[in-house]
Structure 1
Amino acid sequence: MSHRTARVLAADVAIALAVGVLSLVNAHWQGAGSRPSNGSPWGTGRGEPAGGPPWADGGPSGAEFAALPPAAYLCLAVAAASLAARRFYPRWGFVGAMAAIAALDVLGVDSGALRLGPMVLAYTMAARLPLRQWAPLAALAVPVFLAGRTDRPYFGLLDPGAAGAFVAALTVLLVPVALGVIVRLRRENARRERDDELRRSVYEERLRIAREVHDVVGHSLSVINMRAGVALHVLGKRPEQAEPALQAIRQTSKDALEELRGTLAVFREPDGAAAGGAAPGAAAEEDGGAAEPTGSAREPVPGLDRIDELAAGIDPTGDRVRVRTQGECTALPAAVDHAAYRIVQEALTNAVRHGGGAATVDIGYHPEELAVEITDSGPARPGRDYAEGSGIAGMRERARAVGGRLEAGPRAEGGFRVRADLPMGER
């Protein structure tokens, strides 16, 4: 049993004991004679004691001790126990409390504060259970109402005030039931909102990982394809120049695998520590390299500080890819830094795959925003129709995710241009 459950049970037991003791005292100390019923919906209808408990009407002078039948003690105990177990067995508790009240009324014993039990249990049922699970139990109000009128002909149903008394008795149950239904509906709405938020978070995380995998795989395969083409071209004529291309292919594939492991490590959490040691190391050996094990720690996401490394991986000579920086380099928010890197990576990947010419990366640090522009001198022309594929859509989503904007399209002088303006935000 958890600490919270124990506290809840202790509180309910204390309340049930208090109500049971008050009811027992009220049932024992009954005044001599009787007075007309006070109109309580759950009253016996036989008249109630005039003196009341010993502390009523100035003390015990107008009250006398009344012995109770043995069955009355059992009814009081059942009603108190039903109230104590209301959170765990609300329906059985309601049935037990109603049966105890009806039995006390048949015995002619004033149930006193115990009449609050059915009200509290009715609220608990409505607040914790669907309507279909407890609505039939509301019919118990009829036999309990009639139990207090067994001394009258036809249960007093022919009396002028019988209908009003039954409506009052039913209202005593309907009010807490209505409150319980309102509470349950609010809880269900809050639960649905939390579930929707969780599903939305899961979807956004999957989308983020899909974008990461797309960028890493797409860029790496484009570079590998380009290097493989160079190696095949020089293999027959200048074999000594094929080795650098093959080394670049090996390094690019190794870096891509390491980055993919870091990106997909989220699927191994929270037991990533157990899965991240041996498996990555074994996979690295199978790839043919002497890579060191990555361990269970996730590598930091790449940012603009790795742009030169990215450009060198595409063009080691520096003839086809140039990186220019304007303004003073300042620390960027992690999300903006990573989004800028991925946009540059995807734009260079498209330039290598489709452009065929030289590419230039311009990074401008401004007081309010970061401007990233990638242009290439490929064969694209302004009048040519082009379809915006998943690469450009992914770049646009990355810019929008950090509150920026992105433009992509052919240039008037030829080639293609991608420009992203990303807010600096709070650093």
Structure 2
Amino acid sequence: MSRDRRLIRKLALDVPLGLAIALLALAVAQAQFQTGESGPFPQSWHGPGSPDRPPKFEPHFEPLPIGMYASIAVVAAAVMVRRIRPRAAFVAAVAAVTVIVLVGGYFGPVLLGPIVLTYTMASLYPPRAWAPWTAVALPMFLVGYLDRPYFGLYDIDLYVGVAVGAALFSVPAALGVIVRSRRETARRERDQELRRFAYEERLRIAREVHDVVGHSLSVINMHAGVALHVLHKRPDHVEPSLEAIRQTSKDALEELRGTLAVFRDPEGADRRREPLPGLERLDELVAGVASAGRAAEARTEGEPGPLPAAVDHAAYRIVQEALTNVVRHAGGAGAAVLITYRPAEVVVEITDDGPARPGQAPAEGNGIAGMRERARAVGGTLTAGPRPEGGFAVRAELPRGER
């Protein structure tokens, strides 16, 4: 259906153009035919016996030869389908104009047809696909001199006519090439932009999946270890761990379902998704770690205020990934989260009290790289590394305004 609409839109623009050229060509051809002008490029008319003063013109109507009517109709039809069959339309228009020159002895506005079609070919095809076709226009300029001595080869008018014709066709051809070049450049830039958006979307979803799955599985693993440890010693402590596993897995499934919904319905997914989690859920993250027996706390300094959704979500994910790394790599170390609100930025700092690792360079994996990408995406910075007094620290400085 969209193809039909495009076809109708093309015809809606080109049919009036073809009709306008036909009417103008008919009007001028009728006037030239009645005054008796001839030659491929009509000269000014002077009556006999008075080279400087034309005789009185007697208006009358004489029908044009049937060949001219048919040829003008062919030119109009060629212009109407110029964007459907450009090269075939160009050949048909040139042939029709050649017939008009043979029958009437002049060009007139009907030459606008091949000129418009030259522009159309140049704007739609690369030069190698349309330039050879312009050779069929050469006989159109030579046919008017066939009745002259030596076919007009010694007539300066022939070379002037060919030069003028070449100029008439060069301008629309150059304009068409420029239009096509700009269109191709815009298309390439649009394709590159779409590829970049697709890559960024895949990267965003990969980060979301990594953070949700990584954190949830780490918490589930921690609670499962606690449950196994107290299974025979303190059976009454098993139920809270199992409940935490159930709730953590449920929350993770809901977040994954919302994140992956974009693949099934890119347009409708955003309408169905809940708001992205932010720092208002910070206590849940800390409680999830603390419920398994890890020491964990969260503090806030400064005057809390609303944050842009992207910044709020990035801060939440950074805290989530940092706590996941504490659970995975810091043994039984405790964690502390400090959120500092400043006038122009919010500082997120996560530390643990693991053993000191002097001189040991931090090995950055996907987790730290993902946190750094999240901070950079909202115009912030992130640093991560071991602390001199022991443990590991992650510090992100995120702007409180939009990027």
RMSD: 2.7
Task: Provide the rounded CA distance (Å) in 1 between the counterparts of 2:158 and 2:71.
Answer: 26
Q: 1:321 aligns with which of 296, 308, 311?
A: 296
Tell me the equivalent position of 1:174: 170
Q: Does 1:114 align with 2:110?
A: yes
- TM-score (norm. length: structure 1): 0.85
Structure 2 residues without counterparts, runs of 5 or longer: 48-52
Q: Does 1:228 align with 2:230?
A: no
**Residues 58-90 of structure 1 deviation map (CA, whole Å, 9 limit, x = unaligned):** 998266544432222111111111122222222
Query: Counterparts in 2 of 1:199-238, with a 5 A limit?
Result: 199-238=195-234
- Would you say the 8 A contact 1:29–1:65 is kept in 2? no
Task: Provide the rounded CA distance (Å) in 2 between the counterparts of 1:8 and 1:412.
Answer: 72
Change beyond 3 A, Cα 1:403–1:31: closer
Q: Does 1:139 align with 2:115?
A: no
Q: Does 1:68 align with 2:64?
A: yes
Tell me the equivalent position of 2:240: 244
- Would you say the 8 A contact 2:34–2:62 is kept in 1? no
Q: Which amino acid counterpart does residue 151 of structure 1 have in structure 2?
A: D
Q: Which amino acid counterpart does residue 286 of structure 2 have in structure 1?
A: A
Q: C-alpha displacement at 1:345, in angstroms?
A: 0.4
Q: Partner of 1:68: helix, strand, or coil?
A: coil
Q: Partner of 1:420: helix, strand, or coil?
A: strand
Tell me the equivalent position of 2:340: 364
Q: C-alpha displacement at 1:199, in angstroms?
A: 0.7
Q: C-alpha displacement at 1:144, in angstroms?
A: 1.1
Query: Counterparts in 2 of 1:301-312, with a 5 A limit?
Result: 301-312=276-287
Q: Partner of 2:349: helix, strand, or coil?
A: strand
Change beyond 3 A, Cα 1:389–1:60: farther
Task: Provide the rounded CA distance (Å) in 1 between the counterparts of 2:218 and 2:206.
Answer: 18
Task: Provide the rounded CA distance (Å) in 1 between the counterparts of 2:278 and 2:234.
Answer: 37
The range that moved more, 208-217 or 385-394, is: 385-394
Query: Counterparts in 2 of 1:147-296, with a 5 A limit?
Result: 147-270=143-266
- Would you say the 8 A contact 1:145–1:166 is kept in 2? yes
- Would you say the 8 A contact 2:381–2:398 is kept in 1? yes
Q: C-alpha displacement at 1:272, in angstroms?
A: 5.6
- Would you say the 8 A contact 2:310–2:378 is kept in 1? yes
Change beyond 3 A, Cα 1:128–1:24: same
Task: Provide the rounded CA distance (Å) in 1 between the counterparts of 2:55 and 2:181.
Answer: 47
Q: Does 1:376 align with 2:352?
A: yes
Change beyond 3 A, Cα 1:32–1:70: closer
Task: Provide the rounded CA distance (Å) in 1 between the counterparts of 2:272 and 2:12.
Answer: 45
The range that moved more, 414-423 or 148-157, is: 148-157
**Residues 2-44 of structure 1 deviation map (CA, whole Å, 9 limit, x = unaligned):** 6675454234322322221222232223477766x7xxxxx52
Tell me the equivalent position of 1:394: 370
- Would you say the 8 A contact 2:381–2:396 is kept in 1? yes
Task: Provide the rounded CA distance (Å) in 2 between the counterparts of 1:163 and 1:196.
Answer: 48
Q: Does 1:425 align with 2:401?
A: yes
**Residues 296-331 of structure 1 deviation map (CA, whole Å, 9 limit, x = unaligned):** 821221100001011111212786110011112211
Q: Which amino acid counterpart does residue 67 of structure 2 have in structure 1?
A: A
Q: C-alpha displacement at 1:127, in angstroms?
A: 0.8
- Would you say the 8 A contact 1:408–1:416 is kept in 2? yes
Change beyond 3 A, Cα 1:380–1:228: farther
Q: 2:312 aligns with which of 315, 337, 341?
A: 337
Change beyond 3 A, Cα 1:271–1:324: closer
Q: Percent identity?
A: 60
Q: Does 1:50 align with 2:25?
A: no
Q: Which amino acid counterpart does residue 178 of structure 1 have in structure 2?
A: A
Q: Partner of 1:236: helix, strand, or coil?
A: coil
Task: Provide the rounded CA distance (Å) in 2 between the counterparts of 1:244 and 1:297.
Answer: 32
Structure 1 residues without counterparts, runs of 5 or longer: 38-42, 277-295
Tell me the equivalent position of 1:280: none
Q: Which amino acid counterpart does residue 284 of structure 2 have in structure 1?
A: E
- Would you say the 8 A contact 2:83–2:120 is kept in 1? yes
